[in-house]
């Protein structure tokens, strides 16, 4: 166990130097951007640039020519181990524990969010702090159906959005108070000791921010308007997973923030912190004379954050862009769909026959692999699932070998248990775009109840996974209560 | 055999002075070796009572702090759990999570005691299986979250001799917790781990686990490797990078064998690291014992040769009468063995008598257990001493030619060259010892008398744990005229404080510096008489403090005043530091550098802050002539504030002495060894001088007859020896200087290696030689020359 102290000291110095250089560069760029943005005349807009990074040209995902290369995949083909992190129950028992968390991992923390709030945990699941405890009215989560209903008649929120993102030690979340109309991006410096949240409502100070951290961007730029529903008797319903998948607002740095759109001509706009539009990106493909009242929206595109950068693909499009503020988007991945490609015009037209047509669907960018799926032959909706006219094809892109491989799987089995778990016999895996951490590991949210059910299932019992690993999962199940939250980390 | 034994006895009795010299020398040599063996053995037993101690390692952290790479035993809490999970080579991993002060414990309505609390996990008992369970067992120790494992000391304090198992104890420091005693552990003397009680990690409050990859100061991590763990470079590389894999830190890990913690902890330790010593002391003491043994052996070698030479005719006759060489050799060896054995018995008896004194000198608690190991050591020591001492005279004398011996009128077989060599070696060792001892004393005097930059005379340090209540306690104390001044702080300014990074903005350039924080109240500067060079001292009261804390929690601009020392001022580089901000603090004053740690450490940049949450100690200056009354008053006043807590105090000067405990023991032990080496040198010199004087009896008689004065005779004989003492001096000085130069590097502040220390050693040695030789010469020179001439 002897190590050379001088060698280790040298390692530390060189790693520190690299970190310092990176940080210096980041700060310099941010400062340059801030300086240049500050000098801009009011109303100034940059030219929106779609620019290829010549050193790293976009990777072509050759779907058209690889459709026939089908291979059976198990979890062990793409992962080596699984870690289960049991999240400590929240000390505030008034916060409901009936909804699975959406997880985000910083270098130091696990950030768990759901409609009830955002909480910090250590990497081994110990509760640290509550960043915000959401307060809602007119919102209901139905656990059985796993969906969220919003009733506009009495809708009100002093709450954070589900999506959080981070840069270094700084954690960001969106915050809104529908009663006062406040709409902010909040910044929490997690390198500092976080003082416990004071959630006492102060009637004389209704604008008191009920979450931790400081205001980073006022999204209303001083013009707050309390929420007023357009259709007071209406309601909205989201599947939990769809709600989690959605990124409404994102700030790639301290000087800008951006919004992505599915509807309308624009697909992305970048703003400065005063709310002035710095650049606006139009969709390449626009709807022309689209007059049908009913339309199909089975592709909502993809958006995800990776290492503080924002990536997106707009609906029915074939390119995944990386956003570089204030005015650049770089194509990073391009699907080659060949004859299978369907235009937005046809895809949205409900009378267009989609047989033979392929639309990109899911996309999860992990460390060594990209997990993706495609919708084929029809619109993805309950009806087409019922008559099995729509097919889901799953594929894995190997970043090291630069190869795309489709997975042998029943395309009309919509249960999405694609990668059978032969590591511990537990849950089959198919990652979501928003559940990949900084290290490129796959995160899966589970409850104690899920785990208990799994270990008592025949599938688990009959699994040929190593007995030691199965035993660990069995032990975990025995130590879990039904409402415990567990993060499954696939490495 | 019987005959040889008779001859030996006759020889011993015939030359009583020589025999006493040899015997005393042997006794001293064996005694010194025995005592040092006991001490070295004790040092080497640390942590070895755990069954797999050679597979247990303490995790050390190398981290960049400021511009330096610092090695420490501090480690992050998740290391144990994550390492065990990540590496199959690790069989068990545990940590001890301590705290900065003791926590209260109370059984029913009994006396409230305070003891050091540690949190740990169940692997603690798997790794440290040498801690004997006096009650309970490892399986049930942490079976329930509310279980508590007590040390024997704490159990005895709470329950006397009654069983502790199953009893409920209340601890009410922050909130009231009730624990059930699940085990009582015996902590042996020879371990660096010391705790009052252990709690399961499940009890770690949220507060403790905050930022787990950040806080490490109070945590020690230990791992145990599997029996057949494969340790290759890949594993070592991964495990040393472990922290970086879980956080964005660049810290690297190292692994210190458990058995090396006691003697080989070459990094700054804190209150969690008990009984840390230094292998250098083992080396120094062992070397001193060896040198003494060498001196004794040389004494015997030369003096035996000389003594036998005087009996040369007897040897010649034995040979003529058919004595074989091997029987003579055996006879000489028997003499050596006999004297060594007898001396060894005396030495053992003396060791029993002198051990308490030796323990006092070295600060140890050694015991003589006549174990097989000790008996083997003694046996080997005796055999080695006897053989090395008897070898030369045996070979030299047994090979003498009987014809030559008998032909010579007065055979002078004494090898003068060898005798001179003895003088050189013995005096070189003695001069070395005196020089070393002199430097130790000088350095000790330097560190104990150096002006620390604070006035600590009659300063009483009382650990209060009063925090917010400190002010009222202080105010009550100051009502008494015998209390001259008082101030509160985290610790006495002898234990340093906590290191922290401060972000500074120097003309727009962001930077960070590392400084030590000491939390003090507004009277601290006045109480310790710190010299203010710029601005003013802290005068913030607690209500202002809380207002600022509220601003901080509300994320508004806030500011805490701080005072820095000159070293921090220099490091910060502000033209005028007053009004500048470091981190969240505004500099309001600068004090002259003062020592807030022992002189082993340099004065570091210091930030003095005021925060009532960190006030745990009261520093009270009492009237010199009313010490007893003052202490009684302080005790009574304290009891009003904390009736349940045990009152304790120490004078600052005693704290200071405790910091230099090792040096004090080293100084005392070296002094003792120096005296021993001087005694042996004198004995050797007496023996040789006696021999030479006897050889020159006739010459002295003739010289006296021819008119030589007594002083001329003394001068002649002295000169003969002095030149060799000077050679010894020339040889010993550079070695002593080199060794002392290395030793002094342990200190940030050290005395000068003055030439006069070495010159004085030489003078002392020469003085001893002159006195010894002169006494012998004077006795002969004063004799009537007629007697001298008739002598032969």
pLDDT of B208: 47
Query: pLDDT value at position B206?
Result: 45
* Confidence bin at B210 (pLDDT 50/70/90): very low
List chain B residues with CB under 8 Å of A5: 62, 71, 254
Question: What residues of B are in contact with residue A13 (Cβ under 8 Å)?
Answer: 64, 69
Name the residue in chain B with its Cα closest to that of A91: B206
Q: Which residues does residue A118 pair with via DSSP β-bridges, in sequence order?
A: A113, A132
Give the residue on B whose Cα is nearest the Cα of A169. Answer: B248
Question: What interhelical angle do B16-44 and B279-310 show, nearest 10?
Answer: 160
Query: How far is the C-alpha of B188 from the C-alpha of B468, rounded, in Å?
Result: 37
Tell me, what's the pLDDT at A306? 85
- pLDDT category of residue B155 using cuts at 50, 70 and 90: very high
Contact B71 A5 (CB under 8 A): yes
Reference A393, options A402, A405, A403; nearest CA is: A405
Residues of A in contact with B214 (CB under 8 A): 108
**Cβ-based neighbour number of residue B508 at 10 Å:** 5
CA distance A2 to chain B (A): 7
Strands A49-50 and A328-336: parallel
Whole-number mean pLDDT of chain B? 82
Q: Determine the straight-line distance between the first and last CA of chain B, rounded to whole angstroms.
A: 33
Nearest Cα to Cα of residue B223 among B74, B96, B84, B97: B84
The answer to whether B62 contacts A8, with C-beta atoms less than 8 Å apart, is yes
**Chain B contact for A205 (CB, 8 A cutoff):** no
Tell me the two tokens of residue B737.
């200087």
CB-CB contact of A156 with B513 (8 Å): no
Are A127 and B206 an interchain contact pair (Cβ–Cβ within 8 Å)? yes
Question: Which of A3, A107, A213 shows the shortest C-beta gap to B247?
Answer: A107
Nearest one of A445, A456, A455 to A485, comparing CA atoms: A445
How confident is the model over B662-682, as pLDDT tens digits? Answer: 788 888 888 888 888 888 888
Residues 6+ apart with CB under 8 A from B23: B339, B342, B343, B346
Task: Show Cβ contacts of residue A443 under 8 Å, excluding neighbours closer than 6 positions.
Answer: A103, A105, A431, A435, A436, A437, A487, A488, A489, A490
β-strands B197-200, B117-120 pairing: parallel
Boundaries of domain holding A334:
50-490
Q: Residue A9: list chain B partners with CB under 8 A.
A: 62, 69, 252
What pTM value is reported for the model? 0.64
pLDDT digits (tens, 9 = 90+) for A337-378: 999 999 988 888 888 899 999 999 999 999 889 999 999 999
Residue A245, domain member (yes or no) = yes
Interface ipTM: 0.72
Answer for the pair A400, A368: CB distance below 8 angstroms, yes or no.
yes
pLDDT for B209 equals 46
Residues of B with CB below 8 A from A108's CB? 211, 213-214, 247-248
Strands (E), A366-416: 369-376, 391-398, 403-407
Cβ contacts of B191 within 8 Å, gap of 6 or more:
B46, B47, B49, B274, B275
Tokens 């190869």 correspond to what residue?
Answer: A403
**Residue A219 C-alpha, separation from nearest chain B C-alpha, in angstroms:** 20
CA–chain centroid gap for B283, Å, is 12
Q: Does residue B403 have a pLDDT over 90?
A: no
> Is residue B280 over pLDDT 90?
no
A1 vs B contacts (CB less than 8 Å): 57, 225, 231, 236, 255, 257
Do B425 and B684 contact (CB within 8 A), yes or no? no
* Structure-model confidence comparison of residues B791 and A356, the more confident one: A356
Residues in B lying within 8 Å of A, measured between beta carbons: 57, 62-64, 69, 71, 78, 81-82, 85, 206, 209-214, 225, 231, 236, 240, 244, 246-248, 250-252, 254-255, 257, 552-553, 555
In this complex, the residue of A3, A126, A128 whose CB is nearest that of residue B240 is: A3
- CB contact under 8 Å between A12 and B251, yes or no, is yes
Give the DSSP H/E element, type plus range, for residue A332. strand A328-336
Asked, for residue A6, whether it belongs to a domain, the answer is no
Taking the C-alpha atoms of residue B618 and residue B628, their distance in angstroms, rounded to an integer, is 17
Residue A30: what pLDDT? 77
Q: At A170, which helix (H) or strand (E)? A: strand A170-177
Residue in B560, B513, B568, B510 with CA at minimum distance from that of residue B538: B560
- Evaluated on CA atoms B672, B674, B680, B686, the torsion sign reads negative
CA distance B68 to chain A (A): 9
Judge whether residue B693 has pLDDT over 80: no
Q: What is the pLDDT of residue B186?
A: 94
For residues A393 and B396, the model is more confident at: A393
Distance CA B769, CA B723 (A): 11
User: Quick check: A195 and B552 CB within 8 A?
Assistant: yes
- Dihedral angle at the C-alpha atoms of B21, B22, B23, B25, nearest 10 degrees? 80
What is the structure's pLDDT at A190? Answer: 82
Q: Which chain B positions have a beta carbon within 8 Å of A213's beta carbon?
A: 555
Instruction: Evaluate whether residue A135 is within a structural domain.
Output: yes
C-beta separation of A335 from A318 below 8 A: yes
Check residue A82 and give its pLDDT. 92
Domains: count for chain A: 1
Answer whether A160's CB lies under 8 Å from A186's CB: yes
* Minimal CA separation from B178 to chain A, in Å: 20
Distance of alpha carbon B385 from alpha carbon B382, whole angstroms? 5
A3 and B236 within 8 Å at the Cβ level: the answer is: yes
Q: How many CB atoms lie within 10 A of CB A106?
A: 22
pLDDT tier for residue B60 given thresholds of 50, 70 and 90: very high
Q: What are phi and psi of B10, to 5 degrees?
A: -60, -40
Touching check for A83 and chain B: CB below 8 Å? yes
Instruction: State yes or no: pLDDT of B410 exceeds 60.
Output: no
Which stretches of chain A score pLDDT less than 70? Answer: 193, 195-203
CA contacts within 13 A on the Cβ side of B208: 19
For an interface test with B, the pick among A12, A107, A190, A191 (most B C-beta atoms closer than 10 Å) comes out as A12
Closest-CA distance of chain A to residue B176, Å = 18
Measure CB to CB from residue B212 to each of A19, A122, A214 and give the nearest one. Answer: A122
Catalogue the E-assigned strands of B692-745. Answer: none
Q: Is A3 on the interface with B (CB under 8 A)?
A: yes
Tokens representing B640 are 């009003």
Average pLDDT over residues B740-750: 82
Q: In sequence order, what DSSP letters do the residues of A285-318 get, joined into one string? A: S---S---SSB------EEEEETTEEEEE-TT--
What's the sign of the alpha-carbon dihedral A228, A233, A238, A240? Answer: positive
User: Is A196 part of any domain?
Assistant: yes
Q: What are B264-270's contacts with CB under 8 Å, separation 24+?
A: B265/B73, B266/B71, B267/B60, B267/B70, B267/B71, B267/B72, B267/B73, B268/B70, B268/B72, B268/B601, B269/B73, B270/B74, B270/B217
Contacts of A207 in chain B (CB under 8 A): none
Which among A3, A16, A122 has the least Cβ separation from residue B78?
A122
Minimum-distance CB partner of A8 among B78, B240, B247 = B240
Mean pLDDT within B643-652? 81
Q: B546 vs chain A: nearest CA distance in angstroms? A: 14
**Highest averaged pLDDT of the listed ranges B12-16, B211-215, B707-711:** B707-711
Distance from CA of B256 to the nearest CA of A (A): 8
Q: Does A16 touch chain B (CB under 8 A)?
A: yes
Report CA-CA distances (Å) from B430 to A428, B289, B421, B722.
80, 12, 14, 14
Between chains, do B244 and A19 touch, taking CB under 8 Å as contact? no
Residue B211 has pLDDT above 50, yes or no: no
**B209 and A126: CB-CB below 8 Å?**
yes
Find the residue in A nearest to B248 (Cα). A107
**Per the domain annotation, does A210 fall within a domain?**
yes
Q: What's B31-89 look like in SS3?
A: HHHHHHHHHHHHHHCCCCCCCCHHHEEEEEEEEEECCEEEEECCCCCHHHHHHHHHCCC
User: Which of B252, B505, B511 has the most A C-beta neighbours within 10 Å, making it the best mutation to test the interface with A?
Assistant: B252
> Residue B2: what pLDDT?
60
State the count of interchain CB pairs (< 8 A) between A and B. 78
The nearest CA of chain B is from the CA of A12 a distance in Å of 6
Q: Give phi and psi for B85, each to the nearest 5.
A: -75, -40
Closest CA to A131 of A88, A205, A183, A195: A195
| 3-state secondary structure string across A407-439 | ECCCCCCCCCCCEECCCCCCCCECCCHHHECCC
| Domain membership flag for residue A3 | no
- The pLDDT, as a whole number, for residue A489 is 92
Provide the strand spans (E) within A196-308: 214-218, 235-239, 256-260, 266-272, 277-282, 302-306
């Amino acid at each position: 166990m002897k190590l050379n102290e001088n060698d280790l000291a040298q390692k530390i110095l060189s790693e520190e130097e690299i970190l310092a250089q990176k940080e210096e560069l980041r700060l310099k760029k941010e400062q340059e951007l801030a300086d240049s943005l500050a000098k801009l005349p009011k109303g100034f807009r940059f030219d929106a640039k779609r620019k290829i990074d010549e050193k790293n040209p976009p990777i072509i995902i050759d779907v058209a020519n690889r459709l026939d290369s089908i291979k059976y995949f198990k979890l062990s083909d793409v992962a080596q181990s699984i870690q289960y992190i049991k999240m400590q129950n929240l000390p505030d028992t008034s916060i409901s524990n009936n909804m699975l968390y959406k997880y985000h991992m910083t270098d130091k923390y696990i950030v768990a969010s759901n409609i009830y709030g955002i909480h910090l945990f250590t990497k081994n699941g110990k509760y640290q702090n509550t960043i915000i405890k959401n307060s809602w009215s007119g919102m209901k989560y139905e656990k059985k159906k796993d969906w969220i209903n919003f009733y506009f008649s009495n809708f009100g929120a002093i709450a954070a959005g589900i999506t959080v993102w981070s840069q270094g030690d700084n954690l960001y979340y969106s915050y809104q108070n529908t009663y006062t109309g406040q709409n902010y991006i909040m910044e929490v410096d997690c390198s500092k000791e976080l003082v416990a949240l004071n959630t006492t409502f102060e009637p004389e100070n209704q604008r008191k921010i009920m979450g931790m951290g400081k205001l980073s961007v006022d999204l209303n730029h001083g013009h707050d308007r309390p929420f007023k529903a357009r259709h007071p008797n209406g309601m909205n319903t989201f599947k939990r997973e769809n709600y989690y998948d959605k990124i409404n607002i994102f700030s790639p740095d301290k000087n800008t923030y951006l919004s992505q759109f599915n509807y309308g001509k624009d697909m992305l706009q970048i703003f400065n912190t005063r709310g002035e539009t710095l650049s606006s990106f139009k969709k390449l493909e626009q709807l022309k004379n689209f007059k049908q009242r009913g339309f199909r929206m089975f592709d909502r595109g993809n958006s995800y954050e990776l290492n503080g950068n924002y990536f997106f693909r707009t609906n029915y499009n074939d390119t995944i862009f990386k956003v570089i503020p204030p005015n650049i988007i770089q194509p990073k991945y391009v699907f080659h769909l060949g004859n299978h490609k369907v235009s937005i015009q046809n895809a949205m037209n409900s009378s267009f026959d989609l047989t033979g047509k392929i639309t990109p669907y899911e996309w999860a960018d992990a460390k060594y692999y990209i997990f993706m799926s495609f919708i084929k032959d029809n619109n993805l909706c309950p009806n087409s699932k019922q008559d099995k006219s729509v097919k889901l094809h799953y594929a894995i892109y190997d970043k090291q070998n630069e190869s795309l491989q489709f997975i042998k799987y029943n395309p009309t089995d919509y249960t999405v248990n694609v990668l059978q778990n032969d590591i511990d016999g537990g849950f089959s895996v198919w990652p979501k775009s928003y559940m990949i951490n900084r290290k490129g590991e796959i995160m899966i949210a589970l409850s104690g109840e899920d785990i208990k059910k799994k270990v008592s299932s025949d599938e688990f019992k009959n699994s040929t996974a190593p007995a030691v690993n199965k035993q660990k999962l069995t032990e975990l199940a025995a130590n879990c209560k039904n409402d415990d939250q567990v993060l499954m980390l696939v490495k | 055999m019987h005959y040889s034994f008779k001859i030996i006895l006759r020889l011993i009795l015939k030359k009583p002075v020589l025999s006493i010299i040899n015997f005393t020398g042997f006794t001293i040599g064996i005694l010194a070796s025995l005592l040092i063996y006991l001490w070295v053995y004790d040092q080497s037993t640390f942590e070895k009572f755990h069954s797999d101690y050679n597979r247990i390692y303490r995790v050390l952290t190398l981290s960049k702090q400021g511009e330096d790479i610092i090695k420490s035993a501090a480690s992050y809490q998740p290391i144990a759990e994550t390492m065990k999970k990540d590496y199959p080579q690790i069989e068990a991993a545990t940590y001890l999570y301590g705290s900065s002060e003791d926590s209260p414990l109370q059984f029913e309505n009994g006396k409230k005691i305070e003891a050091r609390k540690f949190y740990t996990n169940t692997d603690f008992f798997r790794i440290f299986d040498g801690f004997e369970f006096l009650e309970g067992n490892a399986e049930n120790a942490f079976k329930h979250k509310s279980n508590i494992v007590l040390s024997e000391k704490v159990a005895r304090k709470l329950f006397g001799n009654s069983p502790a198992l199953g009893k409920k104890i209340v601890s009410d420091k922050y909130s009231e917790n009730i624990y059930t005693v699940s085990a009582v552990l015996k902590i042996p003397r020879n371990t660096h781990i010391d705790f009052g009680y252990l709690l399961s990690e499940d009890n770690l409050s949220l507060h403790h686990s905050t930022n787990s990859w950040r806080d490490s100061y109070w945590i020690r991590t230990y791992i145990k490797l599997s029996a057949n763990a494969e340790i290759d470079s890949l594993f070592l590389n991964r495990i040393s990078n472990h922290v970086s894999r879980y956080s964005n830190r660049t810290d690297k890990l190292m692994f210190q064998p458990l058995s090396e913690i006691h003697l080989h902890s070459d990094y700054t330790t804190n209150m969690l690291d008990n009984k840390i010593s230094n292998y250098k002391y083992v080396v120094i003491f062992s070397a001193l014992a060896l040198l003494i043994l060498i001196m004794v052996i040389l004494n015997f070698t030369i003096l035996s040769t000389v003594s036998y030479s005087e009996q040369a005719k007897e040897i010649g006759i034995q040979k003529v009468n058919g004595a074989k060489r091997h029987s003579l050799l055996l006879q000489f060896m028997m003499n050596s063995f006999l004297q060594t054995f007898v001396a060894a018995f005396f030495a053992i008896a003396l060791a029993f008598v002198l051990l308490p004194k030796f323990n006092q000198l070295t600060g140890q608690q050694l015991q003589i257990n006549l174990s097989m190991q000790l008996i083997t050591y003694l046996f080997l020591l005796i055999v080695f001493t006897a053989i090395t001492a008897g070898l030369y005279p045996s070979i030299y004398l047994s090979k003498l030619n009987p014809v030559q011996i008998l032909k010579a009128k007065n055979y002078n077989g004494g090898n003068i060259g060898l005798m001179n060599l003895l003088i050189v070696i013995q005096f070189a060792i003695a001069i070395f010892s005196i020089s070393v001892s002199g430097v130790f004393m000088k350095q000790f005097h330097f560190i104990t008398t150096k002006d620390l930059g604070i006035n600590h005379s009659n300063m009483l340090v009382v650990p209060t744990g009063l925090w917010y209540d400190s002010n009222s306690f202080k105010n009550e104390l100051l009502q008494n005229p015998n209390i001259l001044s008082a101030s509160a702080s985290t610790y006495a300014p002898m234990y340093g404080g906590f290191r922290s990074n401060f972000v500074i903005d120097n003309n727009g350039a962001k930077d960070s510096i590392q400084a030590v924080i000491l939390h003090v109240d507004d009277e601290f500067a006045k109480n310790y008489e710190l010299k203010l060079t710029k601005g003013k001292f802290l005068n913030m009261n607690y209500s202002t403090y809380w207002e600022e804390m509220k601003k901080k929690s509300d994320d508004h601009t806030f500011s805490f005043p701080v005072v820095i020392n000159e070293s921090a001022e220099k490091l910060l580089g502000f033209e005028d530091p007053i009004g500048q901000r470091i981190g969240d603090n505004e500099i309001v004053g600068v004090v002259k550098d003062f020592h807030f740690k022992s002189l082993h450490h340099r004065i570091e940049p210091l930030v003095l802050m005021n925060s009532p949450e960190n006030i745990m100690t009261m520093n009270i200056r009492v009237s010199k002539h009313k010490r007893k009354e003052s202490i009684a008053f302080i005790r009574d006043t304290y009891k009003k504030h904390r009736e349940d807590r045990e009152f304790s105090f120490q004078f600052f000067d005693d704290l200071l002495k405790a910091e230099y405990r090792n040096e004090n023991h080293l100084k005392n032990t070296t002094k003792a060894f120096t005296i021993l080496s001087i005694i042996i040198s004198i004995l050797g010199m007496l023996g040789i001088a006696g021999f030479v004087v006897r050889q020159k009896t006739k010459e002295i008689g003739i010289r006296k007859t021819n008119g030589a004065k007594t002083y001329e005779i003394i001068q002649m004989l002295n000169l003969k020896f002095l030149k060799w003492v000077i050679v010894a001096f020339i040889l010993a000085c550079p070695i002593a200087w080199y060794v002392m130069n290395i030793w002094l590097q342990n200190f940030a502040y050290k005395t000068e290696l003055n030439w006069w220390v070495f010159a004085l050693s030489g003078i002392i040695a020469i003085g001893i030689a002159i006195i010894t030789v002169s006494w012998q010469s004077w006795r002969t020179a004063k004799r009537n020359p007629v007697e001298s001439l008739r002598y032969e």
